[in-house]
Amino acid sequence: MAKRIGVEVSIAAAEAVGLCDVDVVAAYPITPQTHIVEHLSEMVADGHLDAEFIPVESEHSAMSCCIGSSAAGARTFTSTCSQGYALMSEICYIAASMRLPIVMAVANRALSAPINIWNDHADLMYARDAGWIQTIAENGQEVVDLLVHAFKVAEDHRVMLPVQVNLDGFTLSHMIEPILMPDAAEVKSFLPPYKAPLRLDPKNPVSFGVVGMPDVYTEARKAQDEAMKNSKPVIVEAWKEFGDKFGRYYKPVETYKSEDAETIIVTMGSISETAASAVDDLRSKGKKVGLVRIRLFRPFPGDEIIAAIKGAKSLVIIDRVVNFNGGALPGPVAIEIKSLLFDNGLTPKVGNFLAGLGGRDVTMENFEDMVEKMANGGVAGAYEIINVRE
């Protein structure tokens, strides 16, 4: 039986990776991700986890190591964030194109400059087009559950793509939360040992990471694109199987009081809990406000998002990054949702708010102000950065 324990989310994440019987962890420490790999290295050193822990000299090497390990057929994990992700990113693209089912936890943190170790989604958006499946946790329990789910999806022969599990740095990674740790035997039956469809094997030589000239590059990209498209039903199926086994059901998009809502707030990650409290408060004042939270970011769950927001007269879309587009466009999440709206012939009033940058708190009052603003003419321009001191 699963036990509910009070534990720091990073430690729980490491324990979850341990429950998945990972074979290789290659990682470099970076705040606020460090506790995850630090704890994994302790588990290996103390003999609690039968795995190789490779303390590399950089994130670039960490992902390079992960590629070798995964190509050899080993279940492979790493973790990073922010500048670490930036240094690693060259190899992240290669891992996806080589179709290696590596799992990585990213404790989302702002990008420099100025140097800032606190939470926003700059690294998540930097990783957006790398070809990894991306899920985003709202709380500690979800971090644990999404990590177990990540290996299941990544290693499915119908998918064979790396998965990035995002958790907000500090806001989640350093919180002590009550978490139901899954039972080891149940994780084992949910997640059988990894069987690589192709692997580095001297008896059956294969070459990974080969050159692709103009006569084949387009076809390689097409095959990878199809893999991302085809991953969604498997992701959903794995969440169903996870729910049947562990009793916690997940889906690409969560909705809260959104069915009859005139204004819907769209969020990702841990600020969604604050947004839900704001929705409750606004509802108690008679305002028809709801919340839609995106859990699956890549592949982007277009149908689910449209189904959830189609009745709204106005949308408050939160982006947690500044994307320096010159002012003509909103932030990245709003760009994607506006594209969906156009394709579906929907024209709600859209307000895009760039919020919670570099660890700045986003409060219930902030959400209520945004909703209020939408009722009074909306945002002037493509987006508005909130909480700026003039």
Partner 1 sequence: MAKETGIISWKKLNLGIAVTEPGNASQLKTGDWRSMKPITDREKCTKCGQCYIYCPDMVYSKDAEGYFVQNYYYCKGCGICAKECPVDAITMVQEVD
Which residues lie near partner 1 (CB under 8 A)? 97-100, 160, 197-198, 204-210, 212-213, 215-216, 218-220, 222-223, 226
Closer Cβ to partner 1, 189 or 207, answer by number = 207
**Least Cβ distance, residue 74 to partner 1 (angstroms):** 16
If phi > 0 it is left, if psi is from -120 to 50 it is alpha, else beta; for residue 274 that is alpha
Closer Cβ to partner 1, 225 or 259, answer by number = 225
**Least Cβ distance, residue 86 to partner 1 (angstroms):** 24
Closer Cβ to partner 1, 219 or 361, answer by number = 219
Q: Which two tokens stand for residue 63?
A: 């992902």
Closer Cβ to partner 1, 6 or 209, answer by number = 209
CA–CA separation, 365 and 286 (whole Å): 16
Closer Cβ to partner 1, 217 or 342, answer by number = 217
Q: Which two tokens stand for residue 147?
A: 């990590």
CA–CA separation, 221 and 215 (whole Å): 12
**Least Cβ distance, residue 73 to partner 1 (angstroms):** 13
> Which amino acid is it at 297?
F
Q: Which two tokens stand for residue 6?
A: 């009070």
If residue 147 lies in a helix (H) or strand (E), which one and from where to where?
A: helix 140-154
**Least Cβ distance, residue 133 to partner 1 (angstroms):** 15
End-to-end CA distance of the chain: 54
**Least Cβ distance, residue 51 to partner 1 (angstroms):** 24
Is 84:122 a contact under the CB 8 Å cutoff? no
**Least Cβ distance, residue 147 to partner 1 (angstroms):** 23
For residues 83-114, one letter each, b for 16 or more C-beta atoms within 10 angstroms of the residue's C-beta and e for the rest, the string is: bbbbbbbebbebbbbbbbbbbbbbbbbbbeee
Closer Cβ to partner 1, 74 or 379, answer by number = 74
Residue 16 to residues 76, 230, 349: CA-CA distances in angstroms?
A: 13, 26, 42
Closer Cβ to partner 1, 4 or 222, answer by number = 222
**Least Cβ distance, residue 95 to partner 1 (angstroms):** 10
